[in-house]
Structure 1
Amino acid sequence: MTYVAADDRYSSMTYRRCGRSGLDLPAIALGLWQNFGAANAPETQQAIVLRAFDRGVTHIDLANNYGPPPGAAEEFFGRLLARELAPYRDELVVSTKAGYEMWPGPYGDGGSRKYLLASLDASLARMGLDYVDIFYSHRDDPTTPLEETLGALKTAVDSGRALYAGISSYSAVRVAQALEVAAEIGLRLTVHQPSYSMLNRWIESGEPSALDVTHDGGMGNVVFSPLAQGMLTDKYLDGIPEDSRAARGGSLRREFLNEATLGHVRALHTLAGERGQTLAQMALAWVLRDERVTTALIGASSVAQLDDSLDALGNLAFSDEELRRIDADAVEAGINIW
C-alpha cells in the first residue's frame, strides 16, 4: 500500500525558528544514528520514520557514517524517499555530515576540502538527492585551517548541494572563530549541533558559553543525545539489561552507569513521575526549556519509543522548584566523548 501522510501531521508539533535564519525546525527531530542499518529490521526502521513524519517531525538527521555499517542509514533513507516520501520532499529538512572516518587513507577523515565535498557527493548519491537541506562539519579538525573547512561548506551551499551550513561539536572558542571566518568568506553558519543533556551540560559552561556564542552569532542549536544515549530513560534504573546498548558496547560504556550516576538518574525519575512524565519526556522538556535550543534530536528503536519521546511536547513548562531539584541531580557524568 502506498504511504499517504496523516492529514493532521502539523497539528500537534511545535516548531522553532533556527537562530536568525528563516528556517523553522520541529522541537523534536529524528536522528538515524545507531538504529538505521543492520541493527534493526527494515520494516521497523520504515515504521519509525513514517510515524515521525505523521506526527510533524519534518527534520531527519543523518551523517555519512551512520548505520551500521557506515553509509547504511543514508542508503535506507534513500530507498524510503524513493518509495514512500518522494511526494513530501519539500516538506522535509534532510541533513547530513562529514568529519569522522568514512573510508581508508588520508582523504576519508577530518575537515579537508577534499574529504568534505567528496563525502557530500557520496551522501547525495546514497540518498538519491540533488541537495541536502543542512550540511555539517561533523567535528572540529584542529589540523585543518577553518578557512578550508568552512570554505568547503560555502562551496556546498554555493553549488546548490546544500541549502544551509552547520557545524557540530565545536567548543565555544571554536564556534566564535568559525563565525569570524564565515563572515570573512561570505558564509552564513545557521546551526550548531552539540551534545546536551542533564548529564552532559558542557554547552552551558564558560564565559561566554557555547550557547551564548551561537545565540549571539544568530545560530540555532540542534542538540543530540538529550537522553544521554538512553541513560535518561527507565532502561537502566535497575542495572544493565543484556539486550541494551550499554551491554553491547560502543559509545555508551558500562562505566558511565556507575552507582553515583544512577543515583542521580533515579532521583530525576522520581521527579518525572511527579510531573506525570516518563524520565525521557522530562529530559527532553528540560533541554527545550532554553530558547537558544531549537531542536532536541532523538533516536528511536521502535514506534512506541518514538511516541513516548514526542509526547514530551505536552508538558514543556517547569516551576522554579522543579528546576532547582533537577539542578541537584543534573550533574556531569563524564559522557561527553565528542
Structure 2
Amino acid sequence: MTYLPADDRYESMPYRRSGRSGLKLPAISLGLWHNFGHTRPLDTQRAIVRRAFDLGVTHFDLANNYGPPGGSAEENFARLLADDLKPYRDEIVVSSKAGYYMWPGPYGEWGSRKSLIASADQSLKRLGLDYVDVFYHHRPDPDTPLEETMGALDAIVRSGKALYVGVSNYTSEQVTAAAAILRDLGTPLLIDQPRYSMFDRRIEEDHLLDALEGAGAGCIVFSPLEQGVLTDRYLRGIPADSRVATSHFLNEDRLDDATMAKVKALNEIAAARGQSLAQTALAWALRDDRMTSVIIGASSVKQLEDNVAATANLAFTADELAAIDAASIG
C-alpha cells in the first residue's frame, strides 16, 4: 500500500535550531542503532519509521556500524526510503557517522582522512542517497591530528556528500578545538552528540553546553533513557524480550537494588507529573533550550508513540528538578 503521511504531522512536534545554524531538528529524533538491523523484521521497522514521520519526527540518526550486523541499518533504511519516504526526502534529515570499527585493517575505524571519506562513500551507497544531511565523526581519535579529521569532514561537505558535519562523544575541550578548525576551513560545526541522562551527568560536569554555545553548535544526546533503565520496563522484573535479556549492551548487573530504588523514586515523580518515567526522562533531558534534540530507540510503534508524547509537557518546576536530582544523584 502506498504510504501517505499524516496531514497534521507538523502540528505537535517542537523543532529547535541547532546552535546558530539555520537547521532545526525535532525535539525527539529516531535512532536506528539497535532495532533496525537484519535481525529485526523489516515490516516492524517500516511501521515504526512511518509512524515516526506521521508524528513529526523528521530526523533519522544512523551510523555506518549500526545493525546488527554493521551496515544493515543503513541498508534497511534505504529500503524504507525508496518504498515510503522518497517523495518526502526534502522533509527529512538523514545523519550517519563513522569512527568505530567497520572493516578489517588500519583504515576501518578511527578518524583518518582515508577512513572517513571511504566511510562516507560506503554509507551513501548503502543508503542509496547522493548526500546525507549530517555526517559525524563518531568518536575522538587519539592518534590522528584533529586538523586531519576535521579537514576530512570539510572535504565531505565540499564534495557534496553531506550538508553539515558533527562530532560525537567529544568533550568540551575537544569540541572547542574542533569547532575552531572547522570555522577556519569554512564549514561550521553543526552539532555534538554525547551521551546524557539523569544517571549520566558527565556533560554537566564538563560544561559541554556552554562550550557548544560558544562554538555556535547544537547538542543532540543519545541514551537519554539509559537503554531502558529509565523506564517502567524493569520495575516488575526483567521481561524476556527486553534489552537486558537480549543484548550485550545492557546486562542485569545494571539493575542492582540501589539503581532500582532510584528508578522507583523517579517513577513516582513522573507519575505526579502525569507522565511515564520515560516521558519525564526525555523531557528532563530537553529542559535546557540549548539542547537541540534527544535520540530515542524504539522496538514498537507503541513505544515510539509513548516516548514522543513526552513533548506534551516539557516544563519543570524548581521543586521537581530538585527532587529528580535527589533521586538520581543522591
1:243 aligns with 2:237: no
Cα distance in 2 for partners of 1:327, 1:222 equals 21
C-alpha separation between the residues in 2 aligned to 1:153 and 1:286?
32
What residue ranges of structure 2 are gaps of 5+ in the alignment? none
Deviations 1:276-301 (A, max 9, x none): 10000000000000111100110000
Could you tell me which amino acid in structure 1 is paired with residue 195 of structure 2? S
Deviations 1:70-116 (A, max 9, x none): 11110011111111111000001000000000001111010111111
SS state of the match for residue 101, structure 1? Answer: coil
CA root-mean-square deviation: 1.1
Structure 1 Cα separation of the partners of residues 151 and 91 of structure 2: 28
* Superposed CA offset, 1:165-224 (max 9, x none): 000001111111212222233321010011111011111113xx1111011111110111
Q: What is the letter of the counterpart of residue 179 of structure 2?
A: L
CA offsets, 1:16-51, max 9 Å, x none? 111000001100010100000133211010000000
- SS, match of residue 304 in structure 1: helix
Displacement, 1:11? 0.8
TM-score normalized by structure 1? 0.96
Task: Please name the residue that 1:37 is paired with.
Answer: 37
DSSP 3-state at the match of 1:125 = helix
Residue 236 of structure 1: how far off its partner (Å): 1.3
Q: Secondary structure at the match of 2:57?
A: coil
Q: Does 1:193 align with 2:193?
A: yes
Residue 297 of structure 1 aligns to a residue whose secondary structure is: strand
Residues 1:132 and 2:129 aligned together: no
For 2:223, the equivalent position in structure 1 comes to 225
The aligned counterpart of 2:159 is 159
Instruction: Quote the Cα distance in structure 1 between the aligned partners of 2:24 and 2:4.
Output: 23
Distance in 1 (CA, whole Å) between partners of 2:178 and 2:214 is 13
Residue in structure 1 matched with residue 46 of structure 2 by the alignment: 46
Q: Which residue of 2 aligns with 1:277?
A: 275
Q: Counterpart of 1:141 in 2: which secondary structure? A: coil
Q: How does 1:69-148 map to 2 (within 5 A)?
A: 69-148=69-148
Shift of 1:239: 2.9
Aligned counterparts of 2:147 and 2:328: Cα–Cα separation in 1: 37
Alpha-carbon distance in structure 2 between the residues aligned to 1:306 and 1:248 = 19
Using the TM superposition, name which of 210-219 and 130-139 deviates more.
Answer: 210-219
Aligned pairs, number: 330
Please give the per-residue CA displacement for 1:221-254, whole angstroms capped at 9, x wherever unaligned. Answer: 0111111110001111233333221123422232
**Conserved 8 A contact 1:40-1:301:** no
| Cα separation, 1, equivalents of 2:81 and 2:236 | 40
- State the one-letter code of the partner of 1:163: L
TM-score, length of structure 2 as denominator length: 0.98
Cα deviations by residue, 1:104-149 (Å, 9 ceiling, x for unpaired): 1111010111111101101000110000000000001111110111
Is there any run of 5+ residues in structure 1 with no aligned partner, and where?
Answer: 333-338
Residue 260 (structure 2) pairs with residue 291 (structure 1): no
More moved, 18-27 vs 239-248:
239-248
Secondary structure of the 1:326 match is helix
- Do the aligned partners of 1:200 and 1:331 also contact (CA within 8 Å) in 2? no
1:168 matched to 2:136: no
Q: CA deviation at 1:61?
A: 0.4
Tell me which stretches of 4 or more aligned residues in structure 1 moved more than 6 Å.
Answer: none
Corresponding residue of 1:215: 213
Q: Distance in 1 between matches of 2:186 and 2:314?
A: 37
